[in-house]
Structure 1
Amino acid sequence: MSEAFTILRGGDTQILIIGDHASNKVPGDIDLGIDPALLDAHVAIDIGVAEVGALLVAGLGCTAILGGVSRLVIDLNREDDAPGLLPVMSDGHAIPGNRAADLAERMIRFHHPYHHEVGRLLGGMTSPFILSLHSFTPSLASKPDEKRPWDIGILYNEDDRAARIAIPMLEAAGLNVGDQLPYSGKTLNATMNRHGEANGIPYLGVEMRQDLVSDAGGQQRFSEILKLILIECRNILA
């Protein structure tokens, strides 16, 4: 057991699901100085990721690693020297408890063990394929005029092999698909850059719209769609 991550094991299928922002947990000895209700919002957690990830683990017989703490404690999908690792603001919300926090201590306690375990799990697979699973809010308080109509987004940096397979399949399933939307993997791809692209491991980076995976029905729907796509991507690429 580790406070830095949770492992879900469903079988030996060579797919690793990675959910950097799947938890909203804040350890008892860390005070972020925020309204506890904020921990249920998108600034603290990728809503729906843990549930969809668990359904995929069961359906595919594979493994998942889910980040063990909220992104407000430490952002696991950031390079070691990146801005925003220890957020003091998020979508207009101040995180005052982080202003005097020890970044090095949080890195040693959470960030390093998490990425070490991702590497260990991948190292134990002979032909791995990665699903990087995230979700995005349909609107940002800090950018009220920004429209986010996509049901799902596909992100990548240099390696777009799985994206090119997945996007037409997602469209055929009736989803409004964003290619490099609502973000670009050229700028927000730290975990996949580190564990996928740096090691030549194929991966699919997915952003689900949170209002579509906030209940059991939506989570089941997305897991069934993604299951078929993951099988196809892995059969072709891994």
Structure 2
Amino acid sequence: MSQPATTVPAALPPFTAISGDYGRGLIVICDHASNAIPADLQGLGLSAADLQRHIAWDIGAARVSALLAARFKLPAILAGVSRLVIDCNRDPGDPASIPSEVDRTPIPGNAHLTVWDRAERMSRWFVPYHNAIEAMMTAALAAARDPVVLSVHSMAPELGGELRTWPVALSSHEDKRLATPMLVALRKRVGFLVGDNQPYALDPAEDYTVPVHAMRRGLRHLQVEFRQDLIASDPGAAKWAALFGDALAEVLGL
């Protein structure tokens, strides 16, 4: 008697690449684009509802990234797994890169991990994602003298009892070559509620992607946070991608 066929879950890609024109001098990255959990990790012990929350991903950020890439014909790399599997914007040596609790929510599948468990996640998801960004950087540097790196994130409208009143915010460190004119351009369109390092600054001791791929090369960069309730729907994402894109076009002459 023949045995029933066994369904093997499709492999989850560590990133999604969007092709574009490197000569435009701007590339897009999205570290927390996905809430996907590899099948073998069994949802990390979380409910389907929890995996839709901000703890699992930057809600709306992937859609905004894709819209900006399409508008300006830009190359982009979007992370393929949830930040709960491994946070692609944290150094793997940081315990927070694979959190056991987020916003008072325990992550059962991340409890009691061995060093080998952590190393496997790094090799499966973190390393291929950052290798893809490095390949993109190499192509960008070959095509443009001073390419700009745009990192797209989103923030929960409330966290720990703190309301986030900023519809959009820029995170920067010492290099404000683009953050300063972008703040001006955004405030012309949104008003003075645009956040300047609120609620997050760009911190090389905590952030990983922009410091490693842009700052160490001395490249201009932008890290933006959109408020999640404003970009969770397709119309909302389109509105804010258009507004941000208009400001970006003004500042960069796109």
When normalised by structure 1's length, the TM-score is: 0.92
Q: Pick one of 82, 88, 108 that aligns with 1:70.
A: 82
Give the equivalent residue in structure 2 for 1:7: 17
How big is each residue's C-alpha offset from its partner over 1:5-53, in whole Å with a ceiling of 9 and x where there is no partner? 0011244433111100010000111131111211111000101111111
Deviation for aligned residue 1:157? 1.9
Q: Is residue 63 of structure 2 the alignment partner of residue 29 of structure 1?
A: no
Identity of aligned residues (%): 38
Q: Pick one of 139, 148, 159 that aligns with 1:129.
A: 148
- Take 1:79 and 1:224, find their aligned partners in 2: how far apart are those partners? 32
1:196-211 matched pairs, under 5 angstroms: 196-211=214-229
Q: Give the 3-state SS of the residue equivalent to 1:42 in structure 2.
A: coil
Q: What is the one-letter code of the residue matched to 1:134?
A: H
Give the equivalent residue in structure 2 for 1:50: 62
Q: Give the 3-state SS of the residue equivalent to 1:18 in structure 2.
A: strand
Contact map agreement 1:24 1:44 (CA 8 A) in 2:
yes
Q: Give the 3-state SS of the residue equivalent to 1:30 in structure 2.
A: helix
Give the equivalent residue in structure 2 for 1:184: 201
How big is each residue's C-alpha offset from its partner over 1:130-168, in whole Å with a ceiling of 9 and x where there is no partner? 11000000112xx12x23111111001222111001001
Q: CA RMSD in A?
A: 1.7
- Take 2:248 and 2:128, find their aligned partners in 1: how far apart are those partners? 27
Q: Pick one of 120, 127, 132 that aligns with 1:105.
A: 120
Give the equivalent residue in structure 1 for 2:6: none
When normalised by structure 2's length, the TM-score is: 0.87
Q: What is the one-letter code of the residue matched to 1:88?
A: S
4+ runs of 1 displaced by more than 6 Å?
Answer: none
- Take 1:168 and 1:151, find their aligned partners in 2: how far apart are those partners? 15
Give the equivalent residue in structure 1 for 2:179: 163
Change beyond 3 A, Cα 1:233–1:193: farther
Q: Which has the larger radius of gyration?
A: 2
Q: Is residue 243 of structure 2 the alignment partner of residue 228 of structure 1?
A: no
Aligned residues: 233
Q: Which runs of 5+ in 1 are unaligned?
A: none
Give the equivalent residue in structure 2 for 1:215: 233
Contact map agreement 1:138 1:211 (CA 8 A) in 2:
yes
Give the equivalent residue in structure 1 for 2:92: 80
How big is each residue's C-alpha offset from its partner over 1:174-194, in whole Å with a ceiling of 9 and x where there is no partner? 242111011121254321111
Give the equivalent residue in structure 2 for 1:89: 101
- Take 1:51 and 1:172, find their aligned partners in 2: how far apart are those partners? 24
Give the equivalent residue in structure 1 for 2:130: 115
Deviation for aligned residue 1:234? 3.4
Change beyond 3 A, Cα 1:157–1:2: farther
- Take 1:169 and 1:235, find their aligned partners in 2: how far apart are those partners? 12
Q: Pick one of 167, 174, 179 that aligns with 1:151.
A: 167
- Take 1:68 and 1:51, find their aligned partners in 2: how far apart are those partners? 13
- Take 1:73 and 1:156, find their aligned partners in 2: how far apart are those partners? 26
Contact map agreement 1:46 1:136 (CA 8 A) in 2:
yes
